Chains A and B, each alone.
Chain A
Amino acid sequence: MILPRFDYKKAEDIASAIALYEGFKGQARYLAGGTDLIPLLKLRLATPAAIIDLKGIEQLKTITREGGRLIVGAGVTLFELKNHAVVKEYFPALYESLDATSCETLQMRGTIGGNLLQNTRCLLYNKSLDWRKARGFCYKMGGESCNVVPKAKACFSNYCSDNALSLLSLSAGVKIAGPKGERKIKLEKIFSGDGKNPFTLKPGEILTEIHIPLKRLRGAYEKLRVRNSIDYPLLGVAVSVNNKKGKVCVGGIGPTPLAYDLEDLEGASVKELAQKARQEAKSVSNTTLSPAYRKKMVDVLTQRAIKRALKEGK
């Protein structure tokens, strides 16, 4: 498929990127790795007047330790982050989720910021314009109602970032720069819960940094997919635990990942948490596997991930 016509601008720093965005009066999109944005352009799911390239901003490409946190620039590639010594040693859940993301070639192109802010996906949404026209536009494309759940005036698309789940289990925060200055929020606050517009970032804002508390944790990431590489999660479960308690995060089902606190590491509370996660997961038939199977697997993968996290490092 051929790309639509658009202006291309390369920004030197964050301030000039935001200035460029404002110059295009909201008709622009930021480009980081492009592994999510370029296919969306080709499918005409995004039609910006201009693309503002953030790849030249050096400030976004650094990983530093500061004040008990690991500060990861949003432009760091998934591959570079995966091979960072601290990630492997301190955050096994993050290492596993980075490793499970697509394939290594795409990991070298995709960035962690772009991975977090990837658009939600649906079998009936990520299709060519002709296909979508023939089917009739769904709620997310501006149509009357959802094409998966008839008559529903809501979007049930799936948020498919592997790494958001592990970063949530690590209690990460993010720094956002925009036309009105900088702000720091918890990672869970960037999700709006609405599949049509899945993020709370305001127009022109750029996710600049990800802050991860520097604590050595045990962890695991379990991903449900039908083949072993280049596959979006049909369900993902990330677990990070210390000696007493932990955090479990379930995603890939619905537009927002769900986080749970694991109060103690006893078998009974693990089972209870897995049951709760299964009940709260809302799966509809918008992926290649049946909704019933995916819902069932929430329970199975949650228990499996916790079991594996506890076993490791013993």
Chain B
Amino acid sequence: MLNPDLLEYKVPLACDMPDIETIIVSSIDPEGPFGAKEGGLTIRMNAYSAIACAVANATGTVFTELPLTPDRVLNILERKKGAKK
């Protein structure tokens, strides 16, 4: 195991959090119990898919690994540049 401790397994800290905007959607979900809406996983899963799609759109390359750290993005961009030449 390469990350048996929290020093090298880099968990984001308070200062790494982006600004969060809350939007209250006051409607009823017909599938949920008593009209309750699910608000956890859907948002998390869709948020990073949306960002990955946006980066893929902007660069014209499909990414296969998350998270999109600067070194991964640079690596893929450089590979793409090399392929064009």
Contact = CB atoms under 8 A, between A and B. Distances in A.
B10 A131 contact: no
A229 B4 contact: no
B71 A229 contact: no
A227 B12 CA distance: 6
Contact of B13 (A123, A131, A229, A293): A229
Interface residues on A, range: 10 to 19
B4 A290 contact: no
Contacts of A289: 71
Nearest to A290: B71
A294 to B, nearest CB: 9
Contacts of A194: none
**Interface residues of B, dominant DSSP:** loop
A228 B16 contact: yes
Nearest to B1: A131
Interface residues on B, range: 10 to 19
Contact of A293 (B8, B15, B71): B71
Interface in A205-242: 226-231
Contacts of A308: none
A126 B75 CA distance: 28
A128 B5 CA distance: 9
A2 to B, nearest CB: 15
A105 interface: no
Contacts of A29: none
Interface of B: 1-2, 4-5, 7-8, 10, 12-13, 15-16, 69-71, 74-75
27 contacts: A123-B2, A123-B8, A126-B7, A127-B4, A127-B5, A128-B4, A131-B1, A131-B4, A226-B10, A226-B69, A227-B10, A227-B12, A227-B13, A227-B15, A228-B13, A228-B15, A228-B16, A230-B13, A288-B8, A288-B10, A289-B71, A290-B71, A293-B70, A293-B71, A293-B74, A293-B75, A296-B74
